[in-house]
Structure 1
């Protein structure tokens, strides 16, 4: 061991208060910054003992220059013996009553010593350490809370804070490094020097301190040490040896402090030996594999040389072939250019024909749309005319008992003249606007009317299926409809998804269509989409049903039960109470169809308890939509939107007064939305045209 003391006539500081020991090994990049963080302390009465442990870089030269420039530095050089040896050499040379340690790659805060000595004087600690923050190789702070080191350090800090220093340090080395140690010199005489551990000598030392009588370990909760993580830290490459050392230290604590039996320690030793034996075996296997890889590498190098020679020969041959192919390619390029010119010419012809066809198709679609709309509006005019004639017959054919039969014949003749007004015939002079018609009403009984099977009306169904699990139930209802002309299913499903669910319908209906729509406007949105796609209104009568579930709380069902005079506990009961009066049996369906056929004033049929005039919560929106459709406000409607209707009465849906895009997507509202207003508009369209809304029971 050699010593380089004060040079150039400078005198060392007498009676230093703190001796600082820096063990140094191959840290030329960091040692000057570390030493300067000591020399720049706000507490100047120090000596700095730097022990170079046989460094092979230029750090000794840097330290010698610093020692010559500052008398407080004492430089010791020794052969490489490990960090514990360098620390013990420095500690034994210390002359001050306090000893602090700083590793050659870490940095202190400028007021570290002053702050910690003040805390010791206040609280009586004789071994102190502070909190630590992390820096990188360039000295930049690493404050990312998700960094693995910061996570581990925060966990250790929590254990110390929650359990105290003694128990918290048993969980892990919260001191982090010997760079964080400040202790009185007599602590060494009580605890002993640093033991020969490569990775955990700091943890071993502080654990001995906390269990040694007369040593008080004190934590300073302030970051006064900047611990550097730079890729060459010993601990980063120490696994699994670091874990073996930690086990050895913990065994000592078990034995010395907690009186663990010797057999338990021997068991730990045995498992460590097994681990070391396992690791040694793995190392031998790795070395053997590496030797085999070297042999394979030599063989592959020879093979690679042979392949390279073969490749050069093939490359020359390929170059010759490439030159030949280039000539062929040039000829092909010329032919390709000619072909492209021809292709462009033909493509231009195809494009002109396509544009012409698209224009014709668009024109035909417009003609078809106008024809469809015109047909629906003509049907509406026909049905309205038939309704008005029926209303006139009701007014003018009333013949009280005992009246003159000639008067009855006269009235009937006058009604025949009125029919010619609405159905062009031989008496065109009558003006229907001169007659006073009543608006539609709400009626209850079906009577004994029957379906005239010889008339063969076109019967359509709109079934909105949002809940696919209800498909079977709804299809069973449709099986009760005779001579079913068309079924249009809307919802989020395509035809492939519903093929098995709709299979029974093909036995009674040859025209089953599926229109896939988003959940926008619920069943009302599906109806509007189907109508705009020319799917429904070319029928005579239409049944509208949907897979209603109503996932609402019990309080909601109590409220609607009071409104409708029924005891409803869930959406399934509500749905069946709406549909069964409309399609619960074939006899009921035939009664309703017979009513439509024989009574031209019937425009809509709905389940009796659900026919109501309750206003929507959004009165402003309700009035605005009524105004847009030109229908009266506050008319009766079928709550739940399931009903039979004369198809032509839905003609206003073709006039683009409301679009599917006007509705909210996946709305969960039970009132106040556009779909709830449209629920009321359907009834107003019927009653406003002079038709009756028929209420039927179950």
Structure 2
């Protein structure tokens, strides 16, 4: 467990035990959706509500989901034209009613006691705005991975956190929370954030940064909360140059919002060393510096990210990276 507060703690207005809605955005994951929903239905502490939205899939995943949920009274299914992950998650949250939201992407799995772990934490700490846990990694066939690129990445990310003891900076270095499937968060926090932002690859990291700046974040790293599925169709593998542009934008925004709260109270040489490690690891210094410089020109995060995603500018941002970002 690692709990950290970078702003005054978020306080829930509810006095009774908080309810948890599970929101499942589905898109072309017919091979995985039955297992994903099964992991929700087999929770040791049941979800209060399940909301599934199919985002214009071209396979039969929605029909499979309807079959699985047909006799579940607290489950509702919806279908829409393709609008993207962040829009689908936001709509699912709007249609839900729980005090807290647990997102499950349709190719991932909840650990059997995920919701129970979160409820225990929330009983003890009603000020917590967001909870994330440890994760296992599985392949497309559901086999747990013990080695390979994804395992090396996760080990490296955890090692940075262990060595620096700077959780928010560690998330900017490499996002060991990994996915929205690993987040349970207060509805009030989501509203304050303006929902998930219009980012194809990094809406999860941006939301984490907002939570760090405006709430109390609880990292339950001694308990596995999800199995994160790694397969060739993961969105993150689509276009690495576009991914890196979004990462640079989120880092710049987080630096502006957090400032010295990224570091220890001492602001000593260990903090400097950790920060320089992040800059070297990410190799985005020039673009981050540019985005950090222009960020104050925009009224809010949404306007800033719209600037970053503007098709007339994306090519220039990608070219800046191709030119040898440090």
TM-score interval (norm. to shorter): 0.7 to 0.9
CA shift digits 1:157-190 (9 cap, x unpaired): 1233332423322222111000001012111122
Q: Given the two structures, how large is their TM-score scaled by the length of structure 1? A: 0.35
Give 1:160-559 correspondences, 5 Å limit: 160-161=161-162, 162-212=164-214, 215-221=215-221, 222-258=223-259, 265-266=293-294, 273-277=315-319
- Structure 1 residue 272: Cα displacement: 6.5
Report the 3-state secondary structure (helix = DSSP H, G, I; strand = E; otherwise coil) of the residue aligned with 2:31.
coil
Give yes or no for contact 2:49–2:75 (8 Å, CA) kept in 1: yes
**Counterpart position of 1:138:** 141
Give yes or no for contact 2:84–2:200 (8 Å, CA) kept in 1: yes
CA shift digits 1:298-332 (9 cap, x unpaired): xxxxxxxxxxxxxxxxxxxxxxxxxxxxxxxxxxx
**Counterpart position of 2:118:** 116
- Structure 1 residue 73: Cα displacement: 1.3
Higher relative contact order (CA 8 A, sep 6+): 2
CA shift digits 1:180-237 (9 cap, x unpaired): 010121111222200111111111110111011xx10010112221001121111122
Structure 2 residue 156 is the aligned partner of structure 1 residue 128 = no
Give the Cα separation in 2 of the matches to 1:263 and 1:40.
44
Return 5+ residue gaps in structure 1 as ranges. Answer: 1-14, 281-698
**Counterpart position of 1:523:** none
CA shift digits 1:581-639 (9 cap, x unpaired): xxxxxxxxxxxxxxxxxxxxxxxxxxxxxxxxxxxxxxxxxxxxxxxxxxxxxxxxxxx
**Counterpart position of 2:8:** none
**Counterpart position of 1:54:** 56
Sort the Cα spacing of 1:67 and 1:168 in 2 relative to 1 into closer, same or farther, 3 A: same
**Counterpart position of 1:149:** 150
Give yes or no for contact 2:25–2:52 (8 Å, CA) kept in 1: yes
User: Quick check: which has more Rg, 1 or 2?
Assistant: 1
Report the 3-state secondary structure (helix = DSSP H, G, I; strand = E; otherwise coil) of the residue aligned with 2:52.
strand
Sort the Cα spacing of 1:166 and 1:237 in 2 relative to 1 into closer, same or farther, 3 A: same
CA shift digits 1:73-109 (9 cap, x unpaired): 1101111000011100011112111110000000011
Give yes or no for contact 1:255–1:265 (8 Å, CA) kept in 2: no
**Counterpart position of 2:65:** 63
Sort the Cα spacing of 1:279 and 1:129 in 2 relative to 1 into closer, same or farther, 3 A: closer
**Counterpart position of 1:372:** none
Return 5+ residue gaps in structure 2 as ranges. Answer: 1-16, 261-287, 296-307
Give the Cα separation in 2 of the matches to 1:165 and 1:265.
24
**Counterpart position of 1:98:** 100
1:42 to 34, 44, 49: 44
Report the 3-state secondary structure (helix = DSSP H, G, I; strand = E; otherwise coil) of the residue aligned with 2:159.
helix
Q: Given the two structures, how large is their TM-score scaled by the length of structure 2? A: 0.74
Give the Cα separation in 1 of the matches to 2:18 and 2:259.
39
Give 1:14-29 correspondences, 5 Å limit: 17-29=19-31
Report the 3-state secondary structure (helix = DSSP H, G, I; strand = E; otherwise coil) of the residue aligned with 1:69.
coil
2:90 to 82, 88, 94: 88
Sort the Cα spacing of 1:50 and 1:273 in 2 relative to 1 into closer, same or farther, 3 A: same
Give the Cα separation in 2 of the matches to 1:129 and 1:141.
20
Give the Cα separation in 1 of the matches to 2:48 and 2:19.
6
Give the Cα separation in 1 of the matches to 2:290 and 2:317.
20
CA shift digits 1:28-56 (9 cap, x unpaired): 10011101100111112521100100111
Give the Cα separation in 2 of the matches to 1:244 and 1:250.
10
Give yes or no for contact 1:16–1:46 (8 Å, CA) kept in 2: no
**Counterpart position of 1:9:** none
Sort the Cα spacing of 1:192 and 1:255 in 2 relative to 1 into closer, same or farther, 3 A: same
Give 1:577-656 correspondences, 5 Å limit: none
Give yes or no for contact 1:16–1:45 (8 Å, CA) kept in 2: no
Give yes or no for contact 1:51–1:76 (8 Å, CA) kept in 2: yes
CA-based RMSD: 2.8
Report the 3-state secondary structure (helix = DSSP H, G, I; strand = E; otherwise coil) of the residue aligned with 2:115.
helix
Report the 3-state secondary structure (helix = DSSP H, G, I; strand = E; otherwise coil) of the residue aligned with 2:44.
coil
- Structure 1 residue 264: Cα displacement: 5.2
